Structure 1
Amino acid sequence: MGSILLLDNGSRRAAAVHALRGLAATLGARCHQTVTPVSLGHVDHIPAAELDGQAAVLLEPLLEARLAAGLREFLILPLLFGRNAALTNTLPALTARLRVRHGPFTLRLAPELCPLPEGEPRLVELLAEQLEHCATTAGRTPRRVILVDHGSPRPQVSAVRAWLATRLNERLGATVQLEQAVMERRPEASYDFNGALLETQLEQLAATGRDTPIFLVMLFLAPGRHAGPGGDIATICARAEQAHPGLRIHTTDLVGTHPLLIDILATRLQQRTRHRAL
């Protein structure tokens, strides 16, 4: 199988790198193999002092070093919900460049976390359990729920959130109003498939009543610019609560904190017939 690389998009926040490293270590122990945490970008801006003295690893220089050392087989496990541009454009282009410099080698790509059209039912279970835990902690029954993610200009990535929202809605039942929202979207109408901004959804729900709390189901893997302590979502929620006295917004834990994610990644690692060559 060669080198196993757990790949995310990358973040400028040290907490995201620590989370990635923790997942790689847990997965490696689970599968009795070495799993290396790597990122596509951004992490090289984080001082090593914030990362226990060990600089974060970018994918391209890691592949360069291992190819120069004579290694020729790699498997990438995408820590990504859908098939985004990193998987369809960036990785194939990177592979082509490296073959020009280093000659032939094998790089295989495992399925993403929620490959469509079949999806991933365990992600629905994970999100439902995160919501249940959040509701228990808050001491309230969820009646208004928003499934929020980063947002994407690619319909096939937005379709992952829609797939999960449909199955989660079926699980929660008719007594729960479930909406979807994103943190980023392009303003043109041609990108309406991506969904409404979180701020917009919160305003609309606040206008219909402040006594019923809103629960945010976080479709984020690790803390970063949007999710986690001090992120944009926390700021937006605090602002909404201040603008609408009496409104309470509760957020679930991140996907990367739930043990079911390791189960899903272990399955992706073992699905050798579905590893596609780049």
Structure 2
Amino acid sequence: MRSVLLVDNGSSRPDSTLNLRRLAARLAEQIGEPVRPVSLLHADRVAAERLDGQPAEILAPTLRHLVSEGRRDLRLLPLFFGPSRALTQFVPELAAQITAEFGPFRLEVAPELCPLPVGEPRLIEILADNLRVAATRAAIAPKRVVLVDHGSPIPEVTAVRRWLALGLARRLGPDVRLEEAVMERRPGPEYDFNGPLLEDLLSRLAEADRETPILLSMLFLSAGRHAGPDGDIAQICARIEARFPPLHIEVSPLVGSHPGLIEILASRLQ
């Protein structure tokens, strides 16, 4: 019998691990078999009492435990939008180490959430639906939208956001201006492909027009350091609104909160 592991990058914020567990439980119900929520790194920094008394599981010790107990048919389901180094380097290197320690085992890595060049149209629908929720909540018409993600120094990961941005722009129509931004990027022109930092872009948009509201389309799966209720994005929006009254910035729900994500994850296991 295979063991299914739903794997995210991990966060030192408890909400991220709790969301991972929620997704794993809903996915298990959908596919009719157990799904183990596991983080790549970081989540073990969170005290167990902040995680309903259950410590977070980290990938390396979890794999070693499973393989040492004879569980040799493993399926890793990535909770990643694109081909991050976690999937292309860290996981293969870890699998090689465990093979050297315990002998051969099967670790099949399912496709990420938006594998290019095919992409994932259902993610575009999730983003559009989350924007509808935000626009309705704020009673505004979507005219200016910023699709924001974590940011990556890897062009192949940035290409996923670009693919989604193009699809979302088509989905929203010609009356909506869509921009892209990141929360982190490395300095230097060689990383310009990653796009502008969110605070810089919002400042430029606000300087040009402080009357038209801005909708943030959140390309994040869980509430962590950037996307949490008191995270960096909320603080950036508050600063920009304070500098440019009466500008209003409305933040969409996260991709990880949308029920359509479970359908995408389940299809990756077929």
With normalisation by structure 2, the TM-score equals 0.99
Q: Which residue of 1 aligns with 2:167?
A: 167
- 3-state DSSP class of the match of 1:145? strand
In structure 1, the residue matched to 2:39 is 39
Matching residue of 2:141: 141
Match of 1:85 in 2: 85
1:166-206 residue CA offsets vs partner (Å, 9 max, x unmatched): 01001111111100000000011001110000001101100
**CA distance in 2 between partners of 1:18 and 1:169 (Å):** 32
The CA deviation string for residues 87-145 of structure 1, in whole angstroms up to 9 with x for no partner, is 10000100000011001110000000000000000000000000011101110101010
Deviation at 1:218, TM superposition (A): 0.1
Identity of aligned residues (%): 56
Letter matched to residue 217 of structure 1: S
Alignment partner, residue 49 of structure 2: 49
Deviation at 1:255, TM superposition (A): 0.3
- For residues 113 and 148 of structure 1, what CA distance do their matches in structure 2 show? 17
Deviation at 1:213, TM superposition (A): 0.3
* Cα deviations by residue, 1:38-94 (Å, 9 ceiling, x for unpaired): 001001100000001100000110111111111111000000000010010000100
For these two proteins, the number of residue pairs brought into alignment is: 270
1:261 counterpart SS class: helix
Q: 1:245 Cα deviation (Å)? A: 1.3
Partner SS, residue 210 of structure 2: coil
CA distance in 1 between counterparts of 2:29 and 2:89 reads: 31
Corresponding residue number in structure 2 for 1:229? 229
Given the alignment of the two structures, is residue 264 of structure 1 paired with residue 264 of structure 2, yes or no? yes
Partners of 2:177 and 2:227 in 1: how far apart?
23
Q: Counterpart of 2:182?
A: 182
Corresponding residue of 2:192:
192
> d(CA) in 1 for partners of 2:49 and 2:205?
43
Unaligned runs of 5+ in 2: none
* Separation in structure 1 between the aligned mates of residue 236 and residue 176 of structure 2, nearest angstrom: 23
Gaps of 5+ in 1: 271-278
What is the CA-CA distance between 1:228 and the residue it aligns to? 2.0
The Cα RMSD (Å) is 0.6
Cα distance in 1 for partners of 2:70, 2:145 equals 51
C-alpha distance in 2 between matches for 1:32 and 1:79: 19
Is 1:4 the counterpart of 2:20? The answer is: no
> Could you say what secondary structure the match of 1:6 adopts?
strand
Equivalent residue number for residue 219 of structure 1: 219
Query: Which residue does 1:58 correspond to in 2?
Result: 58
Q: Report the secondary structure of 2:178's partner residue.
A: strand
Q: Which amino acid aligns with 1:80?
A: F
Cα distance in structure 2, aligned partners of 1:231 and 1:182? 14
Look up the match of 1:17: 17
Larger deviation: 60-69 or 49-58?
60-69
SS at 1:113 equivalent:
coil
Other structure's SS at 1:111 match? coil
Q: Distance in 1 between matches of 2:2 and 2:250?
A: 43
User: Structure 1 stretches (4+) deviating beyond 6 angstroms?
Assistant: none
Tell me the SS of whatever aligns to 1:184. coil
Could you tell me how far 1:236 is from its partner in structure 2?
0.3
